[in-house]
Amino acid sequence: MASTRHKPLPYAERALLFSQLAALENAGMPVASAFKTLQISPPTQKRIEVAARLLNQGTDVASAGLASALFSPLEVALVRAAQSAGSPARVYQRLADSYSVRAQQIKTLRSRLLMPLGVLLLGLLVQPLPELVAGTLSVAEYCWGVAYPLLGLMMAGWLGKTLLRRLEKPAPLNATAADAWMLQVPLLGSAYSRRNTRDYFESLGLMLEAGMPMFEALPKAAASVSNHALRREFSAMQQRVLAGEALSQAMAPMGFLGRPQLMNLVHTGEASGTLAQTLLAYATRESQTLANQQDTLLTWLPRLLYIGVATWMAYSLIIGAGVPPMPEGL
């Protein structure tokens, strides 16, 4: 069972971890020996040592990564599917590339948010000062007026981190309202659906490329889906394939983004005998599209925040800063 005491590794460390694993796997080094050569930061190195001991005891790499908290549950699902395909090297490399991009995006976002957050803090400190000097605002009310928006921002940040951690877990056994809701969030919902679809068809392509029969590959690929509503759709597609339909036909009732185009690609791949390569090429293009969408979001998010802060400050100057009532007991 995975340890619950450890938080997921930072994206930069995950990128380094999977990059090293991909290189060692491509070099043909036995997995237990490969883990002994990994060099990450000291806290992560302790997890690596635990995983290496488990590997020496005969545990497979996905289970060892989960038990040592080195891999997230979703990474475990992807690595396990790749293991079934023969070698996880391609998945290691894709995860390394993905996390490297995310680490750089987070670094960029933090630097871009410094200015609007600095302006917000300055506005919170300065705008109530006239009322404080005039005596219409107590020191406690002034402090509350500064603190409550910051508390709101901290809560929003905590909710964002919680949501990201949920997205890195496989779909729950039972459907939840959150699964359907996450697919409906503007912009983010379509990207989330697209990522799940990419993971599914990439896992399926890897296993088909290794020679695994379609009937065995379909349920293993479903393990890479982190949304229950989407997994249910893929499970229904699996049943249609088991009933004798071609994969391109079985996809017809589904509603994921880009389905018509993928159906045509899959039909061509089935007809030419290159289905696995077609699915992997699709996954590569989707990865690039998702990266471009994330770059666009990270470009506009600080700008929108800055506009919001500037609008709030102008509004407060016109009507007065205003401080909400303090909770009773403070």
Helices H / strands E in the chain, number of each = 15, 0
DSSP string, 260-293: HHHHHHHHHHHHHT-HHHHHHHHHHHHHHHHHHH
What pLDDT shows up at residue 55?
93
CA dist list (Å): 178 to 170, 190, 192, 209, 257: 14, 15, 13, 34, 20
- Element housing 147 (H / E): helix 139-167
CA distance 100 to 15: 5
Looking at residue 250, its pLDDT comes to: 94
Burial class (CB in 10 A: 0-12, 13-18, 19+), 204: buried
The predicted structure's pLDDT at residue 1: 42
pLDDT along the chain (330 residues), means of 10: 63 92 92 90 90 92 92 83 82 87 82 80 78 80 80 79 65 62 75 87 85 87 84 92 94 88 94 93 88 81 80 71 58
Report how far residue 176's alpha carbon sits from residue 194's, in angstroms, rounded to the nearest whole number.
20
What pTM, to 2 d.p., does this model score? 0.67
Q: Which residues of 57-94 are buried (b: 16+ CB within 10 A; e: fewer)?
A: eebebbbbbbbbbbbbbbbbbbbbbbbbbeebbbbbbb
Residue 203 CA to residue 85 CA, distance in Å, equals 9
